[in-house]
Amino acid sequence: MRRREFISLLGSTAAAWPLAAGAHRRGARMNWKRGISTTASVMLALMLGVASAEARPRIAFLTLAGQQEDAPLITGLGEGLRRLGYVEGRNLDIDYRYANGDVARLSPLAQELIALKPDVLFGSEPSAARAFKSVAPTLSIVCPALSDAVIPELAASYARPGGSVTGIAQSVEGLTAKLVDLALEIVPDAIRIGFLANPSGYSMKLFAQSVGVGAHTRGITVVTEQASTREELASALDRLSKQEARAVIVPVNGLFRANRARIAQLAVGARLPIIVAERRYTEAGGLASYGVDEQAVYRRAAFYVDKILKGTKPGDLPIEFPTKIELIVNLKTARALGLTIPASLLTRADEVIE
């Protein structure tokens, strides 16, 4: 029942209330006043409750990673939403689903979320956004990790997405090649570096090409090993070690993100410095990272959610590029690997993990 109907009902209730007469007129009049007061209170409470429920939007959040892995990013999204006046559980609802590194779970989880009738779909990775779009192609989707690999499948272009998907780009041009420079700065005598690839990753081909070009221009050989499941990570890193890779570049990928602590642990065991584009690997024990500030990206993604909730079509919201790049070095891991990090690199680092 809507607000106008409540008001009409409240008015008719008051008008129809019977007036008593005779010897009990005074008591009846007092009871009538109590009755109308109670009825008005109940009607008003119900009216406000319905209005509140109608005004409370719902977001569906889907990620290939796990709850613990994505906790910092969810915090960033929540901070961005609060800056725009949204408080989860008060005037906004968010439903979360985690695939825990299993791509096959994304589609069923997307169906679960869409059954809850959300107003906006939030896909943490391109694979999550694709799962949403395959189930509900017309619902609005925000993705904070778009790349050339999913253009024009998910969006016609960065400047004019034109469809149901918008958000923020995964990285800036030339960033992946910078990982090669970082590896050579840490291991200057390296003539061979490794690349860990997930063959099912949508952006993997572009990452591999970028690393290959960057290595070729510097006279470095790239050896690639693949892992498409958590169980294959150990053997892939072991093969890279046996091929005498002096450092390993780990690209942005949902499976790898969900298993970043394991990758870091395996890399130290295999005496392999890993260079990544996400700081969370370095926090988990990786050697160094150079990439976008993901929490800042998720805070900015709240802007897209807000615009869509207020009526803007996702296709009319240009995809933005990250503006903040950060360099993180893990000295504890460097010591475990017997490496000395150049002082110039430590001076440039945004954060040094002791």
Which tens digits make up the pLDDT trace of 97-134? 999 888 899 999 999 999 999 999 999 988 899 999 99
Closest to 290 in 3D by CA, of 184, 149, 139, 147: 184
Amino acid making up residue 66? G
**Domain boundaries 175-293+325-353, CATH class:** alpha beta
CA-nearest of 293, 302, 281, 280 to 321 is 293
What class does CATH assign to 58-171+294-316?
alpha beta
Cis peptide before 152 (omega within 30 of 0): yes
Q: Is the pLDDT of residue 330 over 80?
A: yes
CA angle 98, 99, 104 (to 5 degrees): 155
Amino acid occupying residue 290 = Y
pLDDT in tens, 26-85: 444 444 444 444 444 444 444 444 444 456 999 999 998 888 888 889 999 999 999 999
Both tokens assigned to 308: 């869509």
Tell me how far apart the alpha carbons of residues 226 and 239 are, in angstroms, rounded to a whole number: 10
Interatomic CA distance for residues 145 and 290, integer angstroms: 16
Query: How many angstroms separate the first and last alpha carbons of the chain?
Result: 60
pTM of the predicted model as reported, rounded to 2 decimal places: 0.77
Using CA atoms, how far apart are residues 145 and 70, in angstroms rounded to an integer?
Answer: 13
Top pLDDT among 215 and 47 is at 215
142's tokens: 């925000």
- Tokens 């906790």 correspond to what residue? 71
pLDDT digits (tens, 9 = 90+) for 236-252: 999 999 999 999 999 88
CA–CA separation, 146 and 91 (whole Å):
28
DSSP one-letter code for 232: G
Confidence at residue 2, expressed as pLDDT on a 0 to 100 scale: 39
Pairing mode of beta strands 325-330, 288-292 = antiparallel
What angle do the packed helices 204-216 and 175-186 form, to 10 degrees?
A: 50
